[in-house]
């Protein structure tokens, strides 16, 4: 489910021609300066209230003035910091933005890509309520909306061998070893080792079921134990955190271990988000790509729903490892119509409470990330969700 990054157009600033008096030697004109790329991006409608402002492609020392103003929260003081993994800077507001407001960012003397000049705006999302798992468990065909029933994943064949089963006095919860008979490039394996995880932590077994290493996570949930490569060094990574407001997803961070199982790096999402359990991709530039499920409020009346409906936005971030500074941010709801969702938009419109009284709880819908998402895999809008 990994995707390639959508192209970002860099608008160039035309160099001003300078007329010199006769008799003076003319210097070579300064090369055109590429426009800065900003995140949250100009026109975004679902930025997190805890967002920082990222400006890529500018020298932070040359930004002499930067003003960030919320339409209801007013002017924001904050801290400027240079990026470590790319040219640019961040502005970290001293306080959060208010849900639903419009934020204006003004950087005099700096041209902003996809904006007219040095100023642009974005909107702040209104966080949605936690989703009810029962409304997502049985997706029914919604006639006239194009929604379809998600297809079940094919069953995985049981191993043909009987793995070694041990009982550990100190950790009786480790139990059986998933996929212990698999070897080579089988799913979940690295060479002849089986990487697995549970609420207890990250666990490595050999292909016969013998315990190689166990690391307690210290959080309710540990998952997605995998081998990664950072700047040419092979490392191990696993997710630790808890469940999120979106059923089947998580919110937490990724821990990176060296070949001695020492914790050497941490990958966190930025802008107030927490990384989801499913996706981690390290880039050749030494940064990380993570995914986030974010419930927000959206008007679904054009799709037969209610104005204040909870919708799941899928967010992709490229972040600096250890600092969590955002280098890139993309929101599915800013680019993909909710009409492309394979979950019925109006299924919960007439939800009732236990007293058979019409519920005030808004309907729910889910918008999955499309093709073109950089470096991540996720559910596609082009086929039934699986």
> What is the reported pLDDT for 300?
87
Span 268-305, pLDDT tens digits: 999 999 999 999 999 999 999 999 999 999 998 888 88
> What is the reported pLDDT for 158?
45
Span 221-232, pLDDT tens digits: 888 999 999 999
Position 164 pLDDT exceeds 90 = no
Higher pLDDT, 53 or 358: 53
Position 115 pLDDT exceeds 70 = yes
C-alpha to C-alpha distance for 212 and 217, rounded to whole angstroms: 16
Please state the rounded mean pLDDT for residues 29-36.
62
Phi, psi for 65 (deg, rounded to 5): -145, 135
> What is the reported pLDDT for 322?
93
In sequence order, the 6+-apart residues with CB closer than 8 A to the CB of 235 are 227, 228, 229, 256, 257, 258, 259, 264, 265
Phi, psi for 59 (deg, rounded to 5): -85, 115
> What is the reported pLDDT for 205?
78
Higher pLDDT, 190 or 304: 304
Query: What is the residue-wise DSSP string for 275-291?
Result: B-SS-EEE-TTSEEEEE
CA 18 → CA 15, 30, 108, 110, 299, distances in Å?
A: 9, 10, 21, 20, 51
Span 126-142, pLDDT tens digits: 999 887 766 554 443 33
Span 314-365, pLDDT tens digits: 999 999 999 999 999 999 999 988 877 776 554 443 222 222 222 223 333 3
Span 191-230, pLDDT tens digits: 566 677 666 788 887 777 777 888 888 888 888 999 999 9
Predicted TM-score (pTM) of this structure: 0.74
Position 82 pLDDT exceeds 90 = yes
> What is the reported pLDDT for 25?
41
Higher pLDDT, 65 or 354: 65
Position 5 pLDDT exceeds 50 = no
> What is the reported pLDDT for 121?
98
> What is the reported pLDDT for 19?
29
Closest residue by Cα to residue 254 from 241, 243, 272: 241
**Domains by residue range for the chain, with CATH:** 33-123 (2.60.40.1220), 133-366 (no CATH)
Q: Which of 1-10, 82-91, 240-249 has the highest mean predicted lDDT (pLDDT)?
A: 82-91
Half-sphere exposure of 152 toward its Cβ, with a 13 Å CA cutoff? Answer: 5
Whether the CB-CB separation of 252 and 301 falls below 8 Å is answered with no
């Amino acid at each position: 489910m990994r995707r390639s990054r959508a192209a970002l157009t860099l608008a160039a600033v035309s160099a001003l021609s300078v007329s010199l008096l006769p008799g003076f030697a003319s210097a070579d004109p300064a090369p055109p300066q590429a426009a800065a790329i900003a995140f949250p991006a100009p026109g975004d409608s679902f930025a997190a209230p805890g967002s920082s402002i990222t400006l890529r492609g500018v020298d932070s020392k040359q930004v002499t003035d930067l003003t960030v103003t919320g339409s209801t929260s007013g002017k924001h003081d904050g801290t400027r910091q240079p990026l470590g993994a790319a040219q640019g800077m961040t502005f970290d507001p001293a306080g959060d933005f208010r849900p639903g407001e419009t934020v204006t960012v003004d950087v005099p003397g700096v041209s902003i890509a996809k904006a007219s000049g040095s100023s642009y705006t974005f909107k702040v999302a209104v966080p949605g309520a936690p989703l009810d798992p029962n409304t997502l468990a049985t997706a029914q065909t919604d006639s006239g909306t194009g929604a379809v029933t998600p297809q079940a994943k094919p069953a995985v064949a049981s191993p043909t061998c009987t793995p070694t089963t041990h009982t550990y006095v100190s950790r009786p919860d480790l139990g059986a070893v998933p996929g212990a008979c698999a070897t080579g490039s089988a799913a979940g394996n690295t060479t002849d080792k089986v990487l697995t995880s549970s609420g207890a932590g990250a666990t490595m077994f050999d292909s016969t079921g013998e315990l190689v290493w166990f690391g307690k996570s210290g959080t309710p949930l540990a998952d997605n134990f995998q081998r990664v490569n950072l700047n040419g060094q092979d490392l191990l990574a696993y997710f630790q955190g808890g469940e999120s407001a979106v059923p089947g997803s998580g919110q937490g961070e990724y821990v990176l271990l060296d070949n001695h199982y020492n914790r050497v790096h941490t990958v966190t999402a930025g802008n107030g988000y927490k990384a989801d359990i499913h996706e981690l991709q390290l880039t050749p530039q030494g940064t990380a790509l993570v995914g986030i499920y974010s419930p927000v409020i959206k008007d679904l009346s054009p799709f037969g729903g209610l104005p204040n409906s909870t919708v799941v936005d899928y967010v992709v971030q490229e972040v600096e490892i250890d600092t969590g500074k955002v280098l890139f941010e993309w929101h599915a709801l800013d680019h993909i119509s909710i009409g492309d969702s394979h979950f019925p938009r109006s299924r919960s419109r007439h939800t009732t409470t236990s007293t058979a009284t019409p519920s005030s709880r808004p309907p729910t819908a889910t918008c999955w990330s499309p093709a073109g998402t950089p470096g991540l895999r996720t559910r596609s809008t082009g086929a039934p969700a699986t």
